[in-house]
Structure formats: structure tokens, C-alpha cells
Amino acid sequence: MRLEGRGQIDRDHPVRFTFDGRVIDAFRGDTVASALMANDIRVVGRSFKYHRPRGLYSAGSDEPNALVTTGRGRDALPNVRATMQEVWEGLDVTSQNRWPSLTRDVGAINDLFSPFLAAGFYYKTFMWPRAFWERVYEPLIRRAAGLGRLSGEAARDASEKAFAHCDVLVIGSGPAGLMAALTAARAGADVILAEEDSHMGGRLLSETDTIGGLSGPQWVGSVLNELTALPNVRVMERTTVTGAYDQGTYGALERVSLHRPPGRAPRECFWRIAATRTILAAGALERGVAFPGNDRPGVMLASALRTYVNRWGVAPGQSAVVWGNTDTAHRTARDLASAGIHVAAVIDARADATTTGDWPFYPGGEVLSTQGRLGLKGLQVRHGRREFTVWTDCLAVSGGWNPSVHLASHIGSRPVWRDDIQAFVAGPEPVPGMDVAGAANGIFDTAGCLADGLRAGNVAVQAIGLETHSPDLPDAEATPYAITPLWEVEGKGRAWLDLQNDVTTKDVRLAAQENFRSPEHMKRYTTQGMSPDQGKGSNVTALAVLAAATGATVAATGTTTYRPPFVPVTISAMGAGAKGKGFAPERFTPAHAAAVELGAPMIEAGLWYRPSFFPLSGERVWRESCDREVRMVRESVGVTEVSTLGKIEVMGPDAGTFLDVVYTNTMSSLAVGKVRYGLMLREDGHVMDDGTVARLSEDRFVLTTTTAAAAEVMRHLDFVAQGLRPGLNLRTVSVTEQWAQFAVAGPRSEALVRSILDDPAAGVLPFMGCTEASISGTGVRVFRISFSGEKGYEIAIPSDRGEALWRLLLAHARMLGGGPYGLEALNVLRIEKGFLTHAEMNGRSTAFDLGLQGMMSAKKDFIGKALAARPGLLGETREQLVGLRPVGAARMLTAGAYLFGEGAAATREAQQGFTTSVAWSPTLDTFLGLAFLVNGRARHGERLRMVDHMRNVEALVEVGPPCAFDPDGGRMRG
């Protein structure tokens, strides 16, 4: 019900939203939770296992019960904490884990079977018959499990990520956080103040204390006015710091527009904050008490009840009982009474407690059980020897406070038990650069929090080398904290710990009985704390119950590990920007658009896109285009773009010596104007990459790498130059982006090249020669190299003129009966020649395997030389590269198939090798394959069985050399 005249909601702005289709009236400033309470809706969710009806329990992100879904379709967001969701006009909220409705939920039948569903019962059954697990038991369990439901539609990529940097990150804006931020800000530090709530102030928004003569909200407002006016302060509300990482890095989730109707604004923003110092002032979380029937709607945390009453002006009923073990109980009773709510009883676990209030008071009493079905109606109370019933709508319970040390524990520091406050606190500097202040530091009175915030602020200011300018401390309430342990009340009926996962004290005791006695065993066996709230409200209580069951102290029992994130983070926030193409950069070659114009399908080649083939009208399948392009290259001339190849310049007096280290063959002896094929090994003796090395001048070489290995080779060269050969005087630089490069291949390639060069004579290059020339006045580099087996050139031109040169080359090629060719044809051409790609340089092959052992210089050291000589990398047991042709009735070859002796079974034991690349060769009118075959070079002429189970292809093949076309290379040398 709504309380008149209380709360910080904006009563001039009514807001309507729906809950399970019912229209709910609320005010601006309400959360879904406060609005539901205002409308007397008591059941807000169903529990995970037993489908127990559940009501609001907390008022913050630790809420275990009120998990709802907001929105529909692709915007549906499951498991939203109703306590954190601000209302907006038209907001669509539905409850979860119930059918057909919250109040009539068929799943509640599970509760009847609860005696058989104790902790870990599923480990002891469902084993027979074996096939039933996947077919019967598991589907049933899966359907029953889970809380919310994803819509099944692709989520929008509607969030964003950002970085921020500061001197001091203050987490939490209660009295300690505000004071710390003010202290640091006045000293001139760059401050980020992050607050999870929609409003700054923490508990000050929920309590009736005065500070410096102002109400809590007023004082918060005055501090905020100062902070927001400072240029060195960034105030971030709706921002939960979710994780602490190394060197002062924090993750934080900002709910940018989830409190508004959907629009174009980002929904959430995931921040990466780098902070020199951090002050953790995240407050403390109140904990409940495990007593029979404590999950009844209407039982809630005392602090939460004060928040509902004081901040939102709502109450769960006409009367309330307050039960606690600190002065919190009395504060709650006072606030309730002043709000006009009947205080039916105050029960203080401390036998020596006194009260000033005008209500039934039971020092040393306890609650034994609850009554009511869908909502609390009454309590069984024990006081002394007397047991009696108190009729009430609401029980406000407090078992004490747990400092929010989660973030302090994220990078390995263990919290420390303090007997005086019956709680875990963080150890000293639990995260490098982090200080803990206020309630998070185990200080539970306002004056103490203010002072501790000031202290922490000054520590941070000094640590970053600024002068302190301490603000004055305002007067505030200062009550010593006195607590008596109050964890559980044993009795008939179930007492819940983890409300979401339906873990009870019995489950914890059963775990101990079965020897799951360490906290981690207990947690994993019972699932205590593995629910969406991660046990925020229940873990410490569960540990206390475990300690009691094992006869140990809580301190000796210890805790489980806190891990990020502090609150659950949507994948769409942490992965923002990646949907579709945003996952990795797209790289487009200079002639990309021109290839697309010709209708070429563009396919991914690493980050690049390359044309697959260039279809002509009338060609229906890729093979027709590919075959034509291959013939075109073999018969006239073809042009293809090879700009994606890595291009690296190596310069300097020691460039040649350096290249001798990284290549297996000798490059220092290469003459100016010449190109040499080169092979690079990894230090482990396997092939890293191949490519060409051209010597443009005495002290300038240009290397090409494969497209795939370009970045790896650059990093490798940097490593060798800086780390292994720092004494050599040379410089390396990638020029991949500077040069567009085109291969011109075919018998008429020379005619084409000569026709476009300003000085046609420059086109008369010997095989493996290179020169600088010009086209229409633009300087180009011309290389006489071939990856097709035909007479071929590669022409490099500055990228800005790449598209123009491509168009020029095509125009001239067409006049010669040629045209463009794509990756498919390029692949066929190289397979016909037995040239390599990474299908063969697969990371496990050696120069020896590839038949390139002759390229390994015996006269010098090079990377990979020593380990390539290991006995296991040489000899007859190695799989060596061979060529294959089908010889039986079946004419098709496939890549990835295995080879077996003719007549041998296709088993692992009989494997002789496997195919790496295959192609239909229009030139030779047959399929061709490349393969690795055990001792293959000695087996040319042998017939084998090729089996591809995956594609259901089997063929008889004949082994030959890798090169199937023009083996002496006459065409290439031309």
C-alpha cells in the first residue's frame, strides 16, 4: 500500500506499466518492486526448484525473489531484478518460472516431493537404464530448470563499451563514498564516483537520520552539487562496478537507458576503468535469519522495509513485526511507527536489550515459524518459555550486516572474520591500490562512515601525490554496533538459506553428514550461492550453519571465493559492437569494389575479402567460371589481385645477414634486381611460411608472406631482430598497405606488361628478376615471379592507384584474350604445379616433408635448423608430400581424406597418409590431389585407396610427384 506523505517519488508524474498484463499505477521514481508493493502484489516470483511463492525480500541488486522479464521479443530481458528496474510508461513486466500464473503455478507440485529432492539426490539416481538419461531424465530436468527464458530471437546490438581513466575510483555513494569522493575531488584528483542505484546517496536515501542538520537526501544533494560542478569529477549513477582486475582495472556496467522506453540510446554500457587508487565504499548487505517458513512472502529484510517505507512511501501491509539482533530492529520499528504502520511486536535476540517504543517487546525472543500461503499472516514467537502467535502481514528481519567485500576479494585476497561484528571484512589493501571504507569496512554508523570516507579519501590523495584539503565532517548519528549471533532457528519445517536455489539448512546439514564439509564442497553439493544472486544474502549464514554442523567456528570454516561479476552482466553489453561484422575489422583491397562490380563473390581470407571467381553470363556454377579462368591463364593471360600478401621491407647494412637467420636458404648472396623463393621455419623445425625475397637495392629487400601469416611473420622478424640478433643493424617495416599488387600470368603476360609500362623494355625481365618502373608516370615495382606455373609477373603500385591499375590491366588483358581470375582458379593453377599453401604448410610439416630439404643451407645457422634435425623429423617414417591422380572407376578426389594400402581396411592403424588439397584440373582433364604419405617420395607409381567417410567418397589413386604440370618449369621460365 502507498503511504501518504512519505518517500522521494514524484507524485506529480504518474506512470503506468503492466505486470503479467495487469496495469499497475506508479509514480516516477518508483521501481517495479516499490510499485508492486504499492499495489499490494505480494507474490512476485516462484522459486527455482520447489516453485514456492515468493515476495519481495530486499530492495537492491541482492534481491533473490523478484526476478522478472521486461520487454518482449528480441528486447525481452530475463531475470531483471524488480528492485533495480525503474518504472516507465508502458514498461512490460512478466513474472517467471510459473505456469499458468504466479498465484496458480502447476510447478508447485514439486514442493510436495521435496522430501525426496534433498541436496545431491540426482547424483544417487537416474542411472538406470543408461539410455534414459539423455532421452527421459535429462529433458525433464532441463525443462524444469532455469528461471527466465530467452526470447529465441537475436538480441539487438544495442549496447556500447567505453574506457575511462581516473586517479581515484570511488565505488558507492553512501556517506563513506560521498565523503571520500569529496575529499579526493577537493584535493584536485580526477575522481570517478560510481553508484549502482539510480540515485546517489546509498542508505542515506532510505534512513531518517540527519547529517549536519540536513536530512539524508538533502545532504546528499548538497555534496552532489559540489561534485558535479567540479571538472575533475565524473559522477556515474546506475553504474555497478562488476569486477576488479589487475593493475587497477575495473569493469563496470552502466544501465544507460533501461529506465526509459526503448529508443536509439545504448541500453547499457560496459566500462573498463583504469584507476590509480580505488575506494570501495559499497556498503553492507543485510542478512536474514534461517528459520522455519522464512521464505513466506511478507518476510523481508528490515533495511529493505525501511527503504520501501522511507524512500518510496510504500508498505507491504498494515502491521509488521520486527526481529533482529542489533539496534537495526529498533530503528525499523521507529520508522514504521512514524509512517503509521502498526508495530505488532519487536523481537530482539539480545536478551539484555531494552526499548523506548510503545510496542510489545520481546528481548531474547525468536520467531519459530510462519503462517500463510501466498503471503504472511502470522508468526509463532517464542519469548522465554512462552510460545504464542502474532498476527502480522510483514516480518522485518535482520541477522546483522555483511560488508560488501566482493570486489575486494576478486583478485585473490581472502576476507577476514571479525567476531565483534559477526562478519567478514576485507584484509588490508585487498586489491593493490584499493582501500575499503565505511560499512564495507565494517563500520555501521553514519558518523563512522563519514569519518572513514574522509580517511580513505585522504589516503588516496596522498598516494597520488596531491595535497590534502579535508572537508569538515558534519554531525551525524553515532551508535556503537552491538550484535549477538543470530543465524538460524531450528525447528519443524524448512528454513531457507539460498532462496533462489531452494537450499535449506537441512541441505547444508546433509552435506556435512555426507562429508561435504569444506565450504566449497558444501556449496557445490547443495548449490548454495550458485543462484543469480550468488548467495549475496545467504552465503555467510550458510557458512555459519555449516560451521555449527561440523563443530567449527565460522572463522575457521572460511568462505567460498567471490568472483566477478558482482552483479550479472549481459553478454550483449560485454560483447557490444561485435554482432554481425563488428567482431573483427574488415580489410578491403584497393581493387575490391572493382571486383564486386564484376559480380565476383567475395570470400573471407583471414580479415581480408578476396574474389572467388569472376562469373560470365551463362555460367551457372563456380566450376564453369573456374575452369574457364584456369584455361585463360594457361592459354592467354589472367590478372588477379594479390595485395593481401604480406609485404615487408628489410633495410640496412645487416639486412642480408638478418635474412640469412630467418630463412633456411641464403639471402645475403641475392643479387640486386633478383628474387628468390624463401622458406621460414619455426624454431621447432617446422615450416612457418614461405614467400619471395626481392633485393631492390644493396640494402633494401622486400619480402612477401602468405596472407594468413603476414602478422605472425612480422612479429617473428621483430622478435629475431630485437631479441635474438640485437647487434645487427637493420630496420623492418610492413609495406603491405602501401602497395597494391597484381599477378599477371599466362603466355601473353609479357605482352600485357609491356603494353602498360611507360618503358616497355622494363618488362623484359628474366625469370626471378625484379625492377622498378613506371606506369602512366606512377612508380611501380615489377617482379618476374609465378604462382601459376605460367610466365608471370607481379606488379606493385601505391595502393591509392591500385584500382586504376586493376582496371587498366583488365582492359589490356581483354584485348589479349585474357581477363581476371579469382582464388578458385589460383588454387587450381597452383595444385597443378604442386605449389604450397597453408593446407600443406599446416604447422606440422617440415621442409623435409615438403621436399624442400635442399633449401636448408648447411653453411649457416638459421631459425629452426637445429631442431629440424631431430631424428623424429626426418626419414622414412615421415609423411612426405606427393601428388595423386584417380585411377579407378571413381574419378573424384576430396581433401581431408585418408590413404590406405590397396585392399587395407580404413582404420587408424592402417592410415598411410591424407589428402591436403584437391582440384579438378581442366588443363589435364583429371582430378589432382596433393597429399602427405608415409615415405611418399619413395612410393611414386604406387596405387592406394583414398577413403573419405565424411563425404562418402572412395577412390583408387596413383602416387606421383607433387607437380603434375610442366614439371621442368619451362613455361614459367618462358
Tell which positions 431-450 bind another protein, by CB under 8 A. Answer: 432
Asked if 735 interacts with another protein (CB under 8 A), we say yes
Asked if 214 interacts with another protein (CB under 8 A), we say no
Binding to another protein (CB under 8 A) within 685-714 occurs at 685-686, 688, 714
CA 913/CA 906 separation, integer angstroms: 11
Asked if 604 interacts with another protein (CB under 8 A), we say yes
* Nearer residue to another protein within complex by CB, 90 or 577: 577
Asked if 630 interacts with another protein (CB under 8 A), we say no
Asked if 324 interacts with another protein (CB under 8 A), we say no
Cβ atoms of residues 55 and 370 within 8 Å: no
Query: Of 12-20, 327-335, 363-371, 410-418, which part binds another protein (CB under 8 A)?
Result: 410-418
User: For residue 95, what are the β-bridge partners?
Assistant: 68
Q: Are strands 77-81 and 67-70 parallel, antiparallel or unpaired?
A: antiparallel
Asked if 361 interacts with another protein (CB under 8 A), we say no
Least Å from the CB of residue 424 to another protein: 19
In one-letter notation, the amino acid at residue 614 is F
* Nearer residue to another protein within complex by CB, 429 or 475: 429
Using CA atoms, how far residue 62 sits from 413, 659, 716, in Å, is 22, 61, 50
Phi-psi region of 426 (alpha: psi -120 to 50; beta: other; left: phi over 0): beta
Least Å from the CB of residue 142 to another protein: 5
Task: Output Rg (C-alpha) for the chain, integer angstroms.
Answer: 37
Asked if 145 interacts with another protein (CB under 8 A), we say yes
Among 387, 419, 718, 772, binds another protein (CB under 8 A): 718
* Nearer residue to another protein within complex by CB, 274 or 598: 274
Binding to another protein (CB under 8 A) within 238-267 occurs at 243, 245-249, 251, 256-257, 260, 263-266
Least Å from the CB of residue 203 to another protein: 26
> Of 197, 201, 4, 217, which is closest to residue 86 (Cα–Cα)?
197
Asked if 143 interacts with another protein (CB under 8 A), we say yes
Grid cell in block for residue 81: 531484478
Q: Which x/- pattern over 20-59 shows residues binding another protein (rule: CB under 8 A)?
A: ----------------------------x-----------
Among 61, 842, 857, 935, binds another protein (CB under 8 A): 842
H/E run at residue 304 = helix 302-310
Binding to another protein (CB under 8 A) within 561-580 occurs at 561, 563-565, 568-572, 574-580
Grid cell in block for residue 788: 601459376
Asked if 506 interacts with another protein (CB under 8 A), we say yes
* Nearer residue to another protein within complex by CB, 197 or 840: 840
Grid cell in block for residue 704: 612477401
Least Å from the CB of residue 514 to another protein: 5
Asked if 228 interacts with another protein (CB under 8 A), we say no
Q: How many residues bind another protein (CB under 8 A)?
A: 188
CA 794/CA 745 separation, integer angstroms: 8
Query: Of 145-153, 436-444, 479-487, 963-971, which part binds another protein (CB under 8 A)?
Result: 145-153
3-class state of residue 553 by DSSP: coil
HEC assignment per residue over 217-276 = HHHHHHHHHHHHHCCCEEEECCEEEEEEEHHHEEEEEEECCCCCCCCCCCCEEEEEEEEE
Among 13, 72, 844, 891, binds another protein (CB under 8 A): 844
Binding to another protein (CB under 8 A) within 73-132 occurs at 75-79, 115-118, 121-128, 130
136: Cβ contacts below 8 Å, ≥ 6 apart: none
3-class state of residue 792 by DSSP: strand
Query: Of 289-297, 300-308, 439-447, 730-738, which part binds another protein (CB under 8 A)?
Result: 730-738
Least Å from the CB of residue 820 to another protein: 18
* Nearer residue to another protein within complex by CB, 249 or 319: 249
Asked if 865 interacts with another protein (CB under 8 A), we say yes
* Nearer residue to another protein within complex by CB, 482 or 905: 905
Asked if 943 interacts with another protein (CB under 8 A), we say no
Least Å from the CB of residue 825 to another protein: 14
What is 2-27 written as a DSSP string? BPTT-SS-EEEEEEEEEETTEEEEEE
Among 873, 928, 944, 964, binds another protein (CB under 8 A): 873
What is 581-604 written as a DSSP string? GGGS--B--TTHHHHHHTTPPEEE
Least Å from the CB of residue 206 to another protein: 26
CA 578/CA 572 separation, integer angstroms: 9
Among 41, 91, 147, 301, binds another protein (CB under 8 A): 147
Binding to another protein (CB under 8 A) within 876-915 occurs at 877, 894-898, 906-908, 910-911, 914
Binding to another protein (CB under 8 A) within 270-289 occurs at 270, 272, 274
* Nearer residue to another protein within complex by CB, 266 or 792: 266
CA 295/CA 66 separation, integer angstroms: 12
* Nearer residue to another protein within complex by CB, 379 or 780: 780
Asked if 516 interacts with another protein (CB under 8 A), we say yes
Q: Which x/- pattern over 791-830 shows residues binding another protein (rule: CB under 8 A)?
A: ------xxxxx-xxx--x----------------------
* Nearer residue to another protein within complex by CB, 416 or 578: 578
Cα atoms in the 13 Å half-sphere on the side-chain side of 523: 20
Least Å from the CB of residue 673 to another protein: 18
Binding to another protein (CB under 8 A) within 755-794 occurs at 756, 758, 775-778
3-class state of residue 292 by DSSP: strand
Grid cell in block for residue 616: 560470365
Cβ atoms of residues 401 and 439 within 8 Å: yes
> Of 143, 161, 334, 386, which is closest to residue 256 (Cα–Cα)?
161
Asked if 583 interacts with another protein (CB under 8 A), we say yes
Least Å from the CB of residue 763 to another protein: 16
Least Å from the CB of residue 777 to another protein: 8
CA 457/CA 525 separation, integer angstroms: 42
Binding to another protein (CB under 8 A) within 643-682 occurs at 649, 651-653, 682
Asked if 684 interacts with another protein (CB under 8 A), we say yes
What is 943-959 written as a DSSP string? EEEEEETTTTEEEEEEE
* Nearer residue to another protein within complex by CB, 71 or 974: 71
Question: At residue 696, what are phi and psi to the nearest 5 degrees?
Answer: -85, -35
HEC assignment per residue over 270-285 = EEEEEEEEEEECCCEE
Question: At residue 224, what are phi and psi to the nearest 5 degrees?
Answer: -65, -40
Among 72, 940, 949, 973, binds another protein (CB under 8 A): 949
611: Cβ contacts below 8 Å, ≥ 6 apart: 595, 598, 600, 601, 602, 603, 640, 641, 820, 822, 823
Among 72, 418, 731, 973, binds another protein (CB under 8 A): 731
Least Å from the CB of residue 959 to another protein: 18
Asked if 410 interacts with another protein (CB under 8 A), we say yes
Asked if 872 interacts with another protein (CB under 8 A), we say yes
H/E run at residue 750 = helix 749-756
Residue 647 exposed, middle or buried by CB count within 10 Å (0-12, 13-18, 19+): buried
Spell 416-428 as b/e; 16+ CB within 10 A means b: bbeeebbbbbbee
Binding to another protein (CB under 8 A) within 151-180 occurs at 151-157, 160-165
CA 809/CA 831 separation, integer angstroms: 25
